[in-house]
Amino acid sequence: MDEFIRIEHLNQRFDLSEPWLARMIYRRPKKFLDAVDDVSFGIERGKTYALVGESGSGKSTIARMAVGLLTPTGGRVLIDGQDLHDGSLSVAEQRRIRQRLQMVFQSPYASLNPRWRVGSILAEPLRVFRLVDGPQAEQARVHELLEQVGLSASDARRFPHEFSGGQRQRISIARALASKPDFIVCDEPTSALDVSVQAQVLNLLKQLQRDLGLTYLFITHDLAVVRVMAHRIGVLKSGKLVEEQATEKLIESPQSDYTRMLIRSAPRIHRAAS
């Protein structure tokens, strides 16, 4: 198996203790919450792995650790065998790994800086990673990115508020693609969108995966969405991985009660006659 990313015994413990003085006065112990508790899984190159869970299951916390936005309190994230959170890596090495990891966020409103033009938003990663030479090449690449996600080159001059939710999510995707990553974490990328627009964005993500060979970690609460998006699914509950299986197998014959309950509760338009 050719795994791009391997997550090993990942742990994230949050300190929820009261302030020191309050603890001393009321003699309360420190309080911790294991938001992510010993989670391990791997994602094959070019495939999509979906983490499904309800609110508070720790899925977004794992997403943030997988791209290096948050340092785990235990366990490792291996990118092509290299530990992402290894403190001994040189700055250049870290930069090289970072460039391969990207993320598409949930909110189409908060994920784009409202004061920046779309062109500058897309150009930023190009400059940071020194991927283009000169303003002309930069502009050409920005236009290429916009067209890749179904927008037009002239949109580079506009501000985020001039776009609809679905279009903003396309811009977010274009920004994620700018650094030519191998791996993109999609954190509930369509849960704030209307259904008809959700379909557009999901189809775009799938097409980009086919064209560019991207590996996805797809975070969602919606089992219906993962059915068409993911090759493999992991079900999370209270920070623990309850079950992990190839998509169809998991949905057709779930092993745990929790997964069964999730599948049963998903509202559906056409319920199979029972």
Q: Which is nearer to another protein, 27 or 115 (CB)?
A: 115
Could you give the CA distance from residue 85 to residue 67 in angstroms, rounded to a whole number? 10
Measuring CA to CA, which residue among 53, 51, 56 is closest to residue 258? 53
- Contact stretch for another protein (CB under 8 A) within 19-27, 81-89, 138-146, 221-229: 221-229
Taking Cα atoms as reference points, which of 42, 168, 57 lies closest to residue 116?
Answer: 168
Sheet containing 215-220: which strands, arranged edge to edge?
Answer: 101-104, 183-187, 215-220, 48-52, 232-237, 240-246
Q: Does 132 bind another protein (CB under 8 A)?
A: no
Query: Using a CB cutoff of 8 Å and minimum separation of 24, what contacts does 56-59 make?
Result: 56/238, 57/236, 57/237, 57/238, 57/239, 58/12, 58/236, 58/238, 58/239, 59/219, 59/236
- The residue among 9 and 69 lying less far from another protein, judged by its C-beta, is 69
Could you say which of 20, 269, 273, 274 contacts another protein (CB under 8 A)? 269
Answer for which of 74, 231, 245, 255 binds another protein (CB under 8 A) is 231
Binds another protein by CB under 8 A, chosen from 19, 267, 273, 274:
267
Minimum distance, C-beta of residue 215 to another protein, in the bound complex (Å): 14
Minimum CB distance to another protein, residue 110 (Å): 4
User: Cβ closer to another protein: 82 or 113?
Assistant: 113
Contact between 112 and another protein per CB under 8 A: yes
In the list 102, 169, 215, 259, the residue contacting another protein (rule: CB under 8 A) is: 102
Smallest separation (angstroms) from another protein to the CB of 196: 4
Choice from 22, 24, 25, 128 touching another protein (CB under 8 A): 128
CB 186 within 8 A of CB 63: no
Burial bucket for residue 213 (CB in 10 Å: 0-12, 13-18, 19+): exposed
**Nearest alpha-carbon partner for 44 in 74, 1, 12:** 1
Binding site for another protein (CB under 8 A): 48, 54-55, 64, 67-69, 94-95, 98-99, 101-103, 105-107, 110-116, 124-125, 128-129, 164-167, 172, 175, 179, 194-200, 202-203, 206, 221-225, 227-231, 247-248, 251, 261-272
